[in-house]
Amino acid sequence: MKELSLNEKLSRIQIEFKANKSRFNSFGKYNFRSAEDILEGLKPFNEKYGVSFTITERLIDVNSNLPIMESTATVYDNNGINELSAIAIVGVDLNQKGMQVPQQFGSASSYAKKYALGNLLLIDDTQDADAVNKHDKTEEKNPWGKVTGGVNSKEYDTDDKKWLNKNTPEFSKSIEYLKGGGNIEAIEKKYKLAKTVKDELLKVK
């Protein structure tokens, strides 16, 4: 039987790979997978295809107000010769309220690892955010449970929405929701957003 190249092995892993979504985002009301879920799901392929996976990290900009973390996911052929890598870059938000500095770096590290693995394995998690929107229905339920007139409808009432302000628990939850794959449109259905607040949230993406 012909020996598979590393490209062929990775291609088969990308097709066969499945990882449980063991985490739940209480803000967006959807399940998502973490870097740990992905790594756990990869273990059976190490022996099956004779490969191994690693993740390395480094800070590539520590002299600014937004340190940049680079995460590299690599698959190695067990012959010790061939390797393939994918990179993800994530900013560390040191101004995020409610988190100590180690937590801020830890959060950025988790996202960077997840996205690097996602790039390597062609995992698209955008459906996690879309899962709360039934685009083919006339009526939908948004992540906070309020029934609206549909994705393209302008009939929902904006008068009963409160403003989303910075440095509040709701603002911190909104940031976590976006980092977990949520979309700002869902947040706008629940809150009124001043331009400065919306600009800050858009930076999360």
pLDDT tens readout for residues 84-122: 999 999 888 887 777 888 888 888 888 899 999 999 998
Q: Which residue has the higher pLDDT, 152 or 161?
A: 161
Mean pLDDT, range 21-26, rounded to an integer: 69
**pLDDT (0 to 100) of residue 130:** 36
Q: Is the pLDDT of residue 123 over 70?
A: yes
3-state secondary structure the chain: CCCCCHHHHHHHHHHHCCCCCCEEECCCCEEECCHHHHHHHHHHHHHHHCEEEEEEEEEEECCCCCCEEEEEEEEEECCCCCEEEEEEEEECCCCCCCCCHHHHHHHHHHHHHHHHHHHHHCCCCHHHHHCCCCCCCCCEECCCCCEECCCCCCCCCCCCCEECCCCCHHHHHHHHHHHCCCCHHHHHHHEECCHHHHHHHHCCC
Per-residue pLDDT band for 199 (boundaries 50, 70, 90) equals: confident
- Regarding the domain delimited by 1-123, which CATH topology (the fold level of the hierarchy) does it fall under? Enolase-like; domain 1 (3.30.390)
**pLDDT (0 to 100) of residue 43:** 92
Q: Which residue has the higher pLDDT, 176 or 51?
A: 51
Least confident residue range of 12-26, 45-59, 136-150: 136-150
Least confident residue range of 26-30, 88-92, 107-111, 140-144: 140-144
> Where exactly are the structural domains of the chain?
1-123, 126-205
**pLDDT (0 to 100) of residue 183:** 78
Average pLDDT, the chain: 76
Q: Which residue has the higher pLDDT, 168 or 6?
A: 6
Per-residue pLDDT band for 73 (boundaries 50, 70, 90) equals: very high
**pLDDT (0 to 100) of residue 147:** 33
Q: What is the pTM assigned to this prediction? A: 0.57
